[in-house]
Amino acid sequence: MILVAGPYRSGTQDKPELIQKNVQLMQEVALEVYKLGHLPVLGEWFALPLLETAGSKQIGDAVFNQIFHPVAVQLLDFCGAVLRVGGPSQGADEMLKVGLEKGKRIFYSLSEIPMVEKAEASLAGE
């Protein structure tokens, strides 16, 4: 698994449409990671449903802060690598730092990620 780490709130002034644009970028990159034969994950895929269930009312409230980044940090235990995408982001940079501390491979572009052979056949419809 490769954690795709990019900006979520950074540069958005917490405007939902701009946050969604950041998430969309990470998801588009995740699809490319998948096409290379790896299982991509975003911390948001785990954190956002938990935040809703836990009763978070807005980005940055106490519940948000207790769950959002800690979930991604915990998720790193199950990943072999981190791919950093997008613009400036303290949270994404934290994922890189923690990834390095945990001995994970760090990628800064899709071109650095090796293709897994079996993915080629399955994506080609074979």
Contact indicator for 118, 108 with CB cutoff of 8 Å: no
What is the number of structural domains in the chain?
1
Return the pLDDT at 119.
Answer: 46
Return the pLDDT at 9.
Answer: 95
Return the pLDDT at 126.
Answer: 42
Weakly modelled stretches of the chain, pLDDT under 50? 119-121, 124-126
Distance CA 90, CA 122 (A): 36
Return the pLDDT at 118.
Answer: 67
Containing structural domain, residue 48: 2-123
DSSP letter for 76, please.
Answer: G
> At 85, which amino acid appears?
V
From residue 1, give the alpha-carbon distance in Å to each of 39, 48, 86, 90, 126: 5, 19, 19, 22, 23
With 0.85 as the threshold, say if the pTM is over it: yes
